[in-house]
Amino acid sequence: MPQTLRIDLDRSSPVPLYHQVATAIDAAIEDGRMQPGEFLENEVALAARLGISRPTARQALQDLVERGRLVRQRGVGTHVAPARVRRPVELTSLHDDLSKTGRKPSTEVLERRAVPASAEVAEALEVPEGSEVVMIRRLRMADGEPLAVLTNYLPPDIAPSAEDLASNGLYDLLRARGAKPKVARQRIGARSATAAEARVLEEKPRAALLTMERTAYDDNGHGIEFGQHIYRASRYMFDTMLFAS
């Protein structure tokens, strides 16, 4: 049965009613009163119960859909979206981070082949431009749901096989080959998905993506991995703790 969440509206407030409704539902999702997969009443029932117009109820639900908090499926209804993956900004693999938080990671290796190093890759790995490196592209899933597309460039002598990558984290495989990631330089950004990326990630065209570019170095300061990753913003976030100096 769809949940009828108690929502108290302040009709004298300058805050729009749709925003008050959306904020109340969002708070219930955040504190666990509403769980992933749980259905909400439809906009008609919501509007009638709260004494608001149907367009106001629709705008409140659509605002949460656009922020990745709700999922609307025609003929099925509106339900709470799967929980976002909160990942600390640390030198760890996504595979390991998912496992530590109780999510089940799985990987589909989309591509693994030798390519000439571009100027950007060559600079990161400290190899001559045009020299051979191994490019690996993987679709990483959490509990069977697409989460990220990971593209990595590595020196050929330490690049894992596609078979190994299908069931193990990249950094664990690099350590097994004697290449231990020690420090990394990382840049985080955002952009819209291309049509191809949206299809792979099962997102709408031009959906919001988080981006991460990382170069990892070993104990001797040599570049051992250059990665360009994209993540579904509706299912993923970076979590950072800051300290005053």
How far is residue 223's CA from residue 238's CA, in Å, rounded to a whole number? 24
What would the pLDDT profile of 105-160 be if each residue is shown by its tens digit?
A: 889 999 999 999 999 999 999 999 999 999 999 999 888 889 899 999 999 999 99
* pLDDT above 70: residue 91: no
Residues 6+ apart with CB under 8 A from 211: 188, 189, 190, 191, 228, 229, 230, 231
Largest CA distance in the chain: 68
Contact (CB, 8 A) for 104 and 142: yes
Query: Among candidates 151, 154, 150, which has minimal Cα distance to 125?
Result: 154
What would the pLDDT profile of 23-49 be if each residue is shown by its tens digit?
A: 999 999 888 898 888 899 999 999 999
Question: Could you tell me what percentage of the chain is helix, strand and coil, using 3-state DSSP and rounding each to the nearest 5?
Answer: 30, 35, 40
3-state SS assignment for residue 180: coil
What domains sit in the chain, N to C, each tagged with a CATH number? 17-80 (1.10.10.10), 85-239 (3.40.1410.10)
Indicate the pLDDT class of residue 98, thresholds 50, 70 and 90: low
**Strand 236-239 relative to strand 223-232, pairing:** unpaired
With the CA atoms of 218, 221, 224 and 225 taken in that order, what torsion angle do they form, in degrees rounded to the nearest 10? 100
Name residue, tokens 């490196």.
133
Name residue, tokens 């990220």.
148
Q: What is the pTM of this model?
A: 0.64
Name residue, tokens 């799967």.
82
* pLDDT above 90: residue 164: yes
Q: Strand runs (DSSP E) across 95-177, as ranges?
A: 105-116, 132-142, 145-154
Query: Among candidates 216, 200, 239, 204, which has minimal Cα distance to 230?
Result: 200
Query: Among candidates 118, 232, 211, 214, which has minimal Cα distance to 170?
Result: 214
**169 torsion bin: left (phi>0), alpha (psi -120 to 50), beta (else):** beta
